[in-house]
Structure 1
Amino acid sequence: MGRAATTSATAVATTPAKKAQPGRKGKKAWRKNVDSTEVEEQLHELRNEERIGGGKLYTKANADLFFTDKSGDAEIKRKFQFKKLKIDEILQPTSAMDGVLSRPTAKSTVKVAPEGMKARNVSKSNVEAVEKLAKRKAESGLARVGASAEAKAAASAAKKRKLEQKKGGFDLWDAPETETTVIDSSLDVAYIEPTLKKSVKKPLLPDTLPKGIKAVEVSHAGASYNPSFDDHQKALREAVDEETEKIDTKAKTLKKLSYPAELDNLDDETFFDDDSEEEEENEAETSAATGETTVTAEVSAQQTFAAPVVVERKTRVDRNKEERRAALEREQKAAKEAKKLDKQLNRLGELKKIVSKEERIRQARLEEREREAVEKANNETRRLGPHAFKPAPMDIQLTEELADSLRELKPEGNLFRDRFTSLQKRTLIEARVPISKNKKLRYKRKLVETHDYKRFK
């Protein structure tokens, strides 16, 4: 208890007492008792700046107050000029005895005297390295002299292929086939086959991909969240035409696969009646034909007993008239052909112009047809898998479904579905068909009753 009191008394004694502030009520008391030491010190510093520097420091530029010291401290340079680093002091040997060497080895240096230079000792490893480099240069020089243009082209193609592979533009299927290793057929090489390098097998895909199909297709202007009236009506018309075309195609297919409904209303009696009528008609036709044959036979018999026809004999005058008439017709025909030929010869330049014009038109049509075929090949989706590509339906909202504000706006479509459809359309992947989880099994389940279950009692 007494110790605690002593501690508190010492704490009170050591606490500095607050300086009593004199009263500053009134002007005289304020001037007399106010503390102006800080102001006087600042004024004194300003006077020193004006006296020493020739002006106040805050009014001068930075170039007058500071400079860059590039020379450094000469005293520090002199002090550390001959001082070693700590790592050098650690690695410095402290023993005066030489280290223990291993067994004596052969001389590792060779005396070499190059042309025009003094002889000197060179390590054997350096000599071997120089000889190997010289041999390699000589072999490369001989190979370069004897190399053909095809070998150079192959080397440049391989180098270009490696550069493209590094840059990421390497075509795996364009790589040349690797040289196969020749193995003796008498040996059993079954264990070697897995270690041999096999060439890449190209998949059964089209060599050219459609170039006219864009990776990301911009939707119709009428499918935006705030379309104009005309754009929205055009988009609706396109969507309606697309659905109408699908319905018509489906109806045509069903019509081809179906049979006329009138056949269901016919019975067996109708078929039999038709057959009997046809038989009666056939009998009538046959009887009529037999009657006609009898009549013709009678007429022919009557004609056989008629008087013979007398043919008048031509005189010489008649023959001469016919010959002159035939000669005149031949002359007229020859003159007509000659006149026609002269007319065609006179129109040769005109005909040539017509033929050249028709040829130009035909060539233009042929080029246009080829261009259309190329565009069609670039824009068409080829079939890769068992299923054909079917474009996704157009995403469009009805007029009453359009939102009045962004708060009520609902998203249309799916970005993942659009990307997946684009890959199928550009034949990067095969077309897919959705498969339902509730689809019936391909094979019927077979129920088997086990022998133990049969004998269960």
Structure 2
Amino acid sequence: MAKVSLAKTTASSTTKKSTKTSTGAPSQLNQSSRKGKRAWRKNVDIQDVEEGLEGMRAEERVTGKTLQSTTDQDLFQIDVTGDAQLRNSLQRFSRSQLTSTKILAERSAVPAVFSRSSTASKKWKSSMSHEEKARLLRIGKRPQKGPFNSVVDPTEFGAGSAILELSEAVKSSGTYDPWASPPEQEVIQDGLETVQKRTVKPPAVTHVRDAIQVPAVVEPHRGTSYNPPVQAHQELLLQAHEAEERRLREAEKLAEVKEKIESSRREVEAEDLMLAPGMKLQEDVAGDDDESAEGEGEGEMLAKRQPQRKTKAQREKAARLRSEKRELAERAARKRMMAMIPSAKTLRRTNAKLMSSREAERARKRTAALERLKQRGLAGQKLGKHKVPEGPVDVQLGEELSESLRALKPEGNLFRDRFLSLQQRALIEPRVPVLPKKRRLKMVEYEKHSAKRFE
């Protein structure tokens, strides 16, 4: 009986409702039955209504009136300027905060669709390479097929006995730059001395070809036309005349030098022809004998004089003369130096002007040479053994002009023009035509001994 009563009391305590509401008013909801109308009206649940009323009372206590009776102008306002402090505290713009960036950053857990099926990709990955297949065939000593379906002997060198791959030099070709700045060399210390490899610097040499601005095909002069203007034709004729005069002057100078050499050679040959080789005139031989005889007689008659020793007075006199000469020389040098001191500034200014004029002249010549190199290239300059030719001036005389394309005659040579252009632009070295030489050795004809015996 005690156990039953304890269970009943526990159940009654758990089902018993609170006697107070959330607002603090006493509750009437603990009645077990509502069968009568009076009991139902008395014990109705109005807690939500009471909570709403209590909230309105709290608003009225804080603001003085309820929010329902407050106008919108009192509750809200439009902020036009904004808060500067709030703007500084906000995060700066970042592309990672954009909605599009967030959408693109999302990745699905579903794998992407491949263009090949899974079985095909696995089969393709597991396929064997040609090198591996050739290696297995060599190990198994199976016949290997070569070009045109021929069987290759695996024991032959280069046909399967070894893998002939590319060398390391071929693999690394094109990656080495000889003019690049070398990396820092590590200092090797072996305890005895310090060894450091020497760095090779690239040559800082400018090529003449870089300064030449001559085009590959030079625009011809207006006077070379088949119907040229009169002034252009006369100008081209004058250029050809000057070039021919220059050539004739050089030929005359060369002929004069050759004539001088030939005349001196003829004089030497004429002197040698007067006497036979190894022989002398009788007068010269007799004079030499007489002189030698007189010398021998004097040597026998007169003894060789020995230098006498000077006395003390003579030595002092010689020393006094030397000191006087030295003093006179020093006095003259001092006098010249004192005379030059007042004119030192003038000499310095004159020397400075002279040096500046020389430097300006050198700069002018250098500029002129560079300008000539840009406009004409190496034409007329000697490079190596030969001189770069300037090229002939192609011009026709007045009576040779055709004045019509029908009667025009071809002039010049395209191959010669291209060859001269390559030489003048420093693309090839200057050359001269090599003519065939005559045979120096003579043909020796002889008759064999067998040909002499005939019957």
TM-score calculated relative to the size of structure 1? 0.37
Q: Which structure carries more relative contact order (alpha carbon 8 Å, separation 6+)?
A: 1
TM-score calculated relative to the size of structure 2? 0.37
